A = this chain, B = another copy of it.
Amino acid sequence: MAATRNTTDAEEPTARQQAVLDAVLSLMVEEGDRLTMTAVARRASCSKETLYKWFGDRDGLLAATVRWQAARVRAGRYDSPTLDIATLRDSLKGFAATWLAVISSPTSIALNRLAIGHAASRKSNLGGIVLENGRFAIGERFRPVLEAGRDAGLLAFEDSETAFRTFFGLVGRDVQIRLLLGDALTLAPDEIERDAAQATDQFLALYGQAEPSTKVLSARQA
């Protein structure tokens, strides 16, 4: 209900158009707010007239950019949710690490800032598109993993959505809001791995079926 447009109602952009959208992304990361149509045209070496012909108006360009970036992020796959605890843990940890890497990337930060600023106005919900391709998309891909874990007797929960929201909170904590507000928080790859592992252990301590006492202890450390 949060998004009115799905992600497939527009055909794939041409190579030249993809170059334009990449220019928008780079400009967004570098200049943040100063994302002006003139600047996009200059960066992409195209005319404003072309921008308007291809994307309709500024909001259309931004929406196309969001979808373009979403298609790129959606690359990761997480099938084969096999049945032993080690594999499940790896799947969870992989999810967590991927998600942390995404939300801490400059592109994601700039994109979310833009969408949030847009949500303040009314028109053309970029926020809905971002939600649909970010938070909700990952939840949708996460559900089969959780339910396979439950079917294998490794996890116990009533509602997979609720369980996922807990995992989401354990993984993200205050990272996204701090980055969005401009905090100079940096996440090195090894930190991401460590935080992902901790969140996974904590999640398994809460929802795992196996004897969790040792997991609880290990989950207590940073």
Chain A contacts to B: CB under 8 angstroms: 1-2, 32-34, 110, 112-117, 119-122, 125, 127-128, 130-131, 135, 156-159, 162, 165-166, 168-174, 176-178, 180-184, 202, 205-207, 212, 216, 219-222
Q: Which residue of B lies closest to A125 (CB)?
A: B182
Query: Number of copies of this chain in the oligomer?
Result: 2
Interface residue SS majority, chain A: helix
Q: Report yes or no: A120 in contact with B114, Cβ–Cβ below 8 A.
A: yes
Q: Report yes or no: B182 in contact with A2, Cβ–Cβ below 8 A.
A: yes
Q: Report yes or no: A33 in contact with B169, Cβ–Cβ below 8 A.
A: no
Q: Report yes or no: B219 in contact with A206, Cβ–Cβ below 8 A.
A: yes
Q: Report yes or no: A220 in contact with B202, Cβ–Cβ below 8 A.
A: no
Q: Report yes or no: B174 in contact with A168, Cβ–Cβ below 8 A.
A: yes
Q: Report yes or no: B158 in contact with A221, Cβ–Cβ below 8 A.
A: yes
Contact among B156, B169, B177, B183 for A171, CB-based, below 8 A: B169
Q: Which residues from B are CB-within-8-Å of A114?
A: 120
Q: Which residues from B are CB-within-8-Å of A170?
A: 166, 169-170
